[in-house]
Amino acid sequence: MTLIDLTPRAALTDRLATLPVVIIGAGPIGLAAAANLVERGIEFTVLEAGDAVASSVRRWGHTRLFSPWRHLIDPASRRLLAAADWHPPLDEGRAPTGHELVDEYLTPLAGLAAITPHIAFGTRVVAVSREGMDRTRTAGRAEAPFLLRIETAGGRRDDITARAVIDASGTYTSPNPLTSSGLDPLGVADLDGLIVQALPDVRGADRARFAGRHTTVVGAGHSAANTLIALTELAEAVPGTRVSWLIRNAAAARVSSSADDELADRARLGSRVDQLVAAGSIERIDSFEISDVRRRDGRAQLIGRRRGEPAAHDTDLVVNATGFRPDLEMLREVRLGVDEIVEAPVRLAPLIDPNLHSCGTVAPHGFDELRHPEPGLFVVGMKSYGRAPTFLLATGYEQVRSVVAWLDGDMSAATRVQLTLPATGVCSVDPVGTGACCS
């Protein structure tokens, strides 16, 4: 089956040629797409649900990324910023926090005169379709504009049209459930206020919520490791603070502590968790499969089986660090070609299969691997990886460079995909649903 029409830009219909490319999301990858479109002189609009750039990154901004600055700045964005007299961080070998990434790089990028007028904040995309046709109609489909239904912060809905859509909306707002089945646990509504999303600011804005309480972190990836370390530091300062780590396997899916890991901050993270478990600062509960949850005397109770026997675990708070998944609901009326396991584009999925690949062993890829049966639709960035936790920002930057070259009809540049990633070892031995591994 032909997945995408390779029609170059010059062959666009007159109407399509007058419409902008719409980018969903003003995070690192969405803004990198905008920078590439600026360089090629292609009109665009960025739709951002939050009230500022990188709204999801800001929510975990206290967390330090694994990648150093040199891997976090998109080449096209660097060129635009340099022309505006922006200077990169002095130490590009240092890994910044999410807040530093936003303040020192993404905010100046979004503030460029070539980009800022094209960003609409407080604008959420509700659905994507084709003008005058749902997903079942084929005749004339490639020539029809995309139709995006949007909702503003005030609740007003409207429709806009586009020649192409680049979905860079990410996955942070769609976490995996606590259960191994992939379904929400029975009774989850009863724990409203007791389940916390991954990467809370334990030592900062959320300190009062966790101080002096028993918190259980569910998940076996790097998001879990960051929170576990922060909670143990809080426990040293505040009496009565307890930390439990609940995983579904007999052994934790290892966060990397390998000396071969070129992302040194990630290796140190893994080593520190190992030490804290060995010292008894973290109570590790392995082989626990959650099926139900309930509120009991104002606390959370996790119910399931441990090593084949019925089991229950009581705690004050639960941090859901089980990873993320793509929210594909808004794309129901366009034609997607996604892998049945990973939920990534079918040509990309074998390249990022977390059973085989770590962050640093993903092959270079671009528009060809990202294409869907819907001509002109691309899902990029973390969302393109579906449920695989092996995404690096540098990979997303190369994705959008290739996609934008294709939109410009530059097949030579679109197919010349080059990417050098740091060697990062094995992200996880239980990769699906273990939490974000790379950044």
- Structure confidence by residue, pLDDT tens digits, 214-271: 999 999 988 999 999 999 999 999 999 999 999 998 876 545 455 444 455 556 787 8
This prediction has a pTM of 0.90
Q: CA-CA distance, 375 to 365, in Å (whole number)? A: 18
Q: Is residue 248 assigned to a domain?
A: yes
Q: Is residue 181 assigned to a domain?
A: no
Which of 279, 302, 320 represents a domain boundary (last residue)? 320
Residue 422 pLDDT: 66
Q: Which residues of the chain have pLDDT under 50?
A: 1-10, 254, 256, 259-262, 425-438
Which candidate, 120, 11, 41, 28, places its Cα nearest to that of 77? 28
40 & 161 share domain: yes
Total number of domains constituting the chain: 2
147 & 63 share domain: yes
201 & 265 share domain: yes
Which of 320, 345, 363 represents a domain boundary (last residue)? 320
Is residue 149 within 8 Å of residue 161, measured between CB atoms?
A: no
Contacts within 8 Å (CB) and 24+ apart, 344-353: 344/384, 344/385, 344/386, 344/387, 344/388, 345/369, 345/370, 345/371, 345/372, 345/379, 345/384, 346/3, 347/3, 347/371, 348/384, 348/385, 349/386, 352/385, 352/388, 352/390, 353/388
Residues 6+ apart with CB under 8 A from 2: none
Residue 179 pLDDT: 95
261 & 375 share domain: no
311 & 286 share domain: yes
313 & 329 share domain: no
Q: What is the CATH number of the domain that holds 394?
A: 3.50.50.60
Q: Is residue 110 assigned to a domain?
A: yes
Residues 6+ apart with CB under 8 A from 354: 342, 388, 389, 390, 427, 428, 431, 432, 437
Q: Is residue 341 assigned to a domain?
A: yes
Structure tokens, 42: 């292609």
Q: Is residue 370 assigned to a domain?
A: yes
Length of the chain: 439
Is residue 365 within 8 Å of residue 417, measured between CB atoms?
A: yes
Q: Is residue 425 assigned to a domain?
A: no
Residue 250 pLDDT: 81
Residue 35 pLDDT: 98
28 & 147 share domain: yes
Q: CA-CA distance, 417 to 29, in Å (whole number)? A: 17
Residue 148 belongs to what domain range? 9-173+324-415
Q: Is residue 124 assigned to a domain?
A: yes
Q: CA-CA distance, 242 to 235, in Å (whole number)? A: 6
Which of 287, 320, 353 represents a domain boundary (last residue)? 320
343 & 302 share domain: no
Question: Starting at the edge strand that comes first in sequence, how are the strands of the sheet with 119-120 ordered?
Answer: 119-120, 44-47, 21-24, 164-167, 377-379
100 & 116 share domain: yes
40 & 140 share domain: yes
195 & 277 share domain: yes
Residue 353 pLDDT: 82
Taking only Cα atoms into account, the Rg of the chain, rounded to an integer number of angstroms, comes to 22
Give phi and psi for 2, each to the nearest 5: -75, 120
Q: CA-CA distance, 87 to 82, in Å (whole number)? A: 7
Is residue 402 within 8 Å of residue 371, measured between CB atoms?
A: no
258 & 386 share domain: no
Give phi and psi for 243, each to the nearest 5: -130, 125
Residue 435 pLDDT: 41
Q: CA-CA distance, 127 to 134, in Å (whole number)? A: 11
Q: Is residue 182 assigned to a domain?
A: no
